[in-house]
Amino acid sequence: MLRASARGLLVGRRRDLMASLLAFSSSASGPPPKPSPSHTSPPPPSASSSARASRFRLLLARAAARRDPEPPPQAESEKKSIAVRTGELFLGLSALFIRAGRGAAPVEEVEQREGVLWEQRPEDVEAERQRQRREVATASPGFSFSAAGLLFPYHLGVAQCLLDKGYITERTPLAGSSAGAIICAVIASGKTMQEALQVTKILAEDCRSKGTAFRLGAVLKDVLEKFLPDDLHISCNGRIRVAITQLSWRPRGLLVDQFDSKEDVISAIITSSFIPGYLAPRPATLFRNRLCVDGGLTLFMPPTSASETVRICAFPAGRLGLQGIGISPDCNPENRATPRQLFNWALEPAEDEVLDKLYELGYQDAAVWAEQNPPESTVKIEQLGTD
């Protein structure tokens, strides 16, 4: 009897609870259900019971939301690769240095104000002096190529135009950081820009199919070793300057213009391009027993050995707050990619047709600069004394 009474009591309480739930859920959409004829009509709900119903519905809604959460609104941004994220951070730091006035000053000012280090041994300095006494020196401007990441084809197009119009000769001083250092080595090697563009497409296809982050350094080194000649260091010595950032108590620019071998040149180029966590899964790399990273951090467009340097920037110079830039997308502002697109292509390889377009745009921008600076008034030759 006791068990039957208890079971009946539980059933009754369960029935009353279900009726209450039905009343709560239907109160928002329509009138409450009519009472059952077999039961006495309940008293009208008080204000406190209505408040409890509202709180109960809120708890049910929160529980349902936890079971079936909506996708976050920024889901697309979370799809950025590690390469893009690390590259964005590093380029952001570089932009801070640039806006502070570093990396684009004349060579004397850079040396005095920024404390640029020179990787020159005493025998290198003497060899450079002897070379200058023997050779014809040019009073023409040198050309400095900015860091550019995978916008490298832009620099190739600029270089092709300058070669075609006679601005760059076998003795023209060159300097570069990151991708800019690569173009300097390509020019000094005697390889054509079209050959370099085809090799760039091979590298881009490898990165598109297998990924960019953590492995670009190894792929780039392999491509350069196969593409560049064995006597590369001979044509580079004293002519090109490779910018590197040395890490000490603060980042300092390091300029390298003397090399022992082809491998030494390639090592300098890889170091100049070393964005931490992008080229390889480590925060820095070693160059000649120095802890270093990408040269674009401190010397975005390094000075050449010429008395005047024409600076070439693959990004819109005005958007970076740069002044005195000779060649950049600002030369031809119409129908250009947005800065965001350029930024993405600098970190993730674009399709081949985009690489071809970047090459064409670089050539066109250099042609605009050439119209404003005719070769006859820019390129000058003078003979140094032999004393």
How far is residue 279's CA from residue 214's CA, in Å, rounded to a whole number? 5
Query: Which ranges constitute the DSSP H helices of 115-192?
Result: 122-134, 152-164, 179-189
Amino acid at 177: S
How far is residue 292's CA from residue 272's CA, in Å, rounded to a whole number? 8
Reduce the DSSP state of residue 101 to 3 states and report it.
coil
Length of the chain: 387
Examine the residue annotation and report whether 164 is marked as an active-site residue of this protein.
no
Tokens at 100, concatenated: 């502070």
The catalytic residue among 178, 189, 235, 272 is 178
Q: Give CA separation, 94 vs 275, 334, 338, in Å.
A: 11, 26, 19
Phi–psi pair at 241, nearest 5 degrees: -115, 125
Residues 6+ apart with CB under 8 A from 71: none
Examine the residue annotation and report whether 206 is marked as an active-site residue of this protein.
no
The catalytic residue among 146, 294, 305, 328 is 294
Which long-range contacts does 315-318 make (Cβ < 8 Å, 24+ apart)? 315/146, 315/148, 315/151, 315/339, 315/342, 315/343, 315/346, 316/342
Active-site annotation, residues: 178, 294
